[in-house]
Structures are given as structure tokens and as C-alpha cells.
Amino acid sequence: MPADYQHAPAEAVQATQPPSASFDEQVEQARKLANDGQPELALAAYHLLLARSPGNVDVLLGRGIVLSRLERWAEAEADLGAAAKAAPEYADVWFALGNLYQWQDQPARAAEAYGRAAALRPQDAAARLAQARALGAMQPAPVTPAAPAKPVNPEAALASGHTWVAGLHGNWQDVGAGTRWNDQTLSVRRYLQGGSIGVEALRAHRFDQAGRAWAIDAYASLWNGAYANLRYQRAPGARLFPANAGRVELYQSLGNGWEASLSNDVLGFDTRVNIYGVGLARYTGNFYVQLRHQNIVSGGARSSGDRLLGRWYYTGEADNHVEMTVNRGRSDDLLSLTSGRARSGGGSLAWVHYLSRDWGGKIGASYARTDGGAGGRERGVSIGLYRRW
């Protein structure tokens, strides 16, 4: 923490400005002093300007930036907060607040402030990139540290300048002979300071049967660099969905863009199914890569699977990305003599893009195969629509 600076006498500041300088010219002179590495003179100039024009937003912004650089956090937040209250549509103020919180290691508040700046200036790539980096810091710390655009799971992080997101997603699968499968999900999510909570309505049509379920899905920040996903799902009819299902997943930043996760899903079918997962992920630049391994245990059956997922944030921010997955699996049913062992594999490709700050969409395609046992091929397409406010 640097030592406190001594304010320069007012005369010293006045001497650097022409007697006939206008108020705007004096503001520009104070800004130049700050940018030229003379914070004490800049502060003195801003003090005088505020005395002449109390509450002037540009002066509050300038002084708040200088105080931030001097790590005088409380004074800086007071100035920038007053500027934001007086001019809530001033993007530069929100960007400065984002810097203030980022430098204090408060990534969630930084991401929110950067998001406000990005929402006010949709074409400003710097604001969106800063938000992505702040989000990254929430994870490895953030989620998505100075590297990727999409730090944590998108559902866990604050949306840019928004507090609500609604989505409608549909998937259609061609499984060869027989009726095509399809499922739909309608969701509404509320973003909070420490995470988010969502409600989902699910519908599926398979094997000439229809099933419905609802779910509550939440993300919560824990200790430094850690957050959790908790989910409960209920299907009153218990046809295609388990009667009850739950998930607990813990994410922990390992630093330098690395993140590890552990999970346990419990599916309440007639025979209880446990899915144990472990994952390792890396954020670097505009890319995110995750390798995930799962063990599925049910009665006398054992299965395992691996999935490699990659995302490219092609615009350098957290909204727009291309996602690709490759997976493989193995199933060993000790109680079956005919189809006890099978191998599977497949992959998917999806594109998420926001046409505006409020409206976005997703399209995707998938392919899967199973060798051994009954065997089979599956091809699928999916589409999604998102609305934020």
C-alpha cells in the first residue's frame, strides 16, 4: 500500500493553468496531471474544481479514478458512487467502478459494474472483455481469469447489466427405427450478488410416451475461488424422468486459469442411480477447455464416460461462443448375458450468439453411436432462444 500523498498547495495548481482557462479546460488539465503521473497535483486541481461546481459528474469521476490509483478505496468509492447516482447512464463511471472493485479483489461487483458499462455501450469490446476477466476471477478466480471470456458456468455469473434471463430450448433426436425423440425446457433465472437461482419446466417425448418435470437450480459463491451448483428435480408422473433427482457440484479454482470440480447426481428411478463426476478445466485467452470423467452406478450395472469440452469466445466477451464436445463411454451390466457390454461415442457442436444485448439464440447438432449390445446411431438438432432484462 503506497504512502499517503501530500496535497499540493492550491497556488501550485493554479499556477499551471492560464488565468483565463475555462472550467472545461481546467478539468482537462487535471486529467492530464493524473495521466502524467502527478496524482497529488491532480487531486488538488479536482478539489478546487469541486469547490466551484459541487457534484459535477466529470470531476467526481476524475477524482475517483485518481483516488483508486492511490488505493484510497473508501474515498474513491464515495466519489464514483456519487457520480453513478447522479448520472446512471454514464458508461465511463461504471467502467471506473469496475476497475475499483477489480483492484480490491471483488470480482462479482467488478463484473456487475463492467456489465453496466457494456450494456450502455454495446459496441465497446473493452468493457465486455473486462467483465469477462472479472467473471473469470470469480472462479480460478475469477471465474475466468484474465484469460477467457466465459469464466464460470454462464448460469452462475451475472449477466451483463441484467438480473433476469428466460430461455426456451428444444432438442430433437433421430434414433433410427421408431418415433423420433424430443424434449423441451423452459427456464427463468434470477441473478443475485452471490450467484443465481432458476426454475425450469421440462417436457420429454420418447418411446411414444410423454413425461414432465420441474426443477430448481441454484449457484452460490462459497469461499475464495469456489462456488457450488445445487439442483432438485421432481417428476410427479415418473415416466421418462426420475420421480426425484438431485445434484451437488463443487467448483474450485486452482489458480493460473485452472479449475477442478467434483459432483454427485442421484436419480430416483425404480433402481437408484448415482453419477459421480470429476472434472479439470483450463481458461486461457478466449478459450475454455474441460475434461470430465463420470462413473455411473446402478444395482449390478456399472458405466463410465469421458467428455472433452471446448469453447471459443470469438468476440472476446462472455456472451457469444462456439462449443464443441467429444465423448466416449463404456457400460458393463453384470446381470445381462446378451447386451452386458457396450461402447459408445459421439460429439456435438453448438453456436450461441446474441443479436442484441437482450436477445440471443443457440443452434446445435449432435451425433452418437453405440457398439455392442443393441447398438444404434443417434443424430440430433437443437435450438434455443434467450431473453434478458
Per-residue confidence (pLDDT) for residue 290, from 0 to 100: 94
Is 129 in the same domain as 237?
no
Amino acid letter at 370?
A: T
Query: How many structural domains comprise the chain?
Result: 2
Per-residue confidence (pLDDT) for residue 120, from 0 to 100: 87
Is 304 in the same domain as 245?
yes
pLDDT digits (tens, 9 = 90+) for 231-279: 999 998 767 888 999 999 999 988 888 899 999 999 888 788 899 999 9
Per-residue confidence (pLDDT) for residue 22, from 0 to 100: 87
Containing 41, the helix (H) or strand (E) segment is helix 39-52
Q: Is residue 216 part of a domain?
A: yes
Is 173 in the same domain as 127?
no
Paired strand residues for 27: none
Is 367 in the same domain as 219?
yes
CATH number at residue 384: 2.40.160.40
Residue 172 CB neighbour total at 10 angstroms: 15
Q: What's the domain range around 192? A: 164-388
Per-residue confidence (pLDDT) for residue 19, from 0 to 100: 53
Is 96 in the same domain as 42?
yes
Is 125 in the same domain as 234?
no
Per-residue confidence (pLDDT) for residue 244, from 0 to 100: 92
Per-residue confidence (pLDDT) for residue 144, from 0 to 100: 34
Which residues of the chain are under the pLDDT cut of 50?
A: 1-16, 139-152, 334-339
Per-residue confidence (pLDDT) for residue 375, from 0 to 100: 57
pLDDT digits (tens, 9 = 90+) for 58-107: 999 999 999 998 889 999 999 999 999 999 999 999 999 999 998 888 88
Among the listed residues 333, 274, 268, 271, the one whose alpha carbon sits nearest the alpha carbon of residue 300: 333
Among the listed residues 42, 63, 120, the one whose alpha carbon sits nearest the alpha carbon of residue 87: 120
Is 265 in the same domain as 189?
yes
Distance CA 218, CA 315 (A): 28
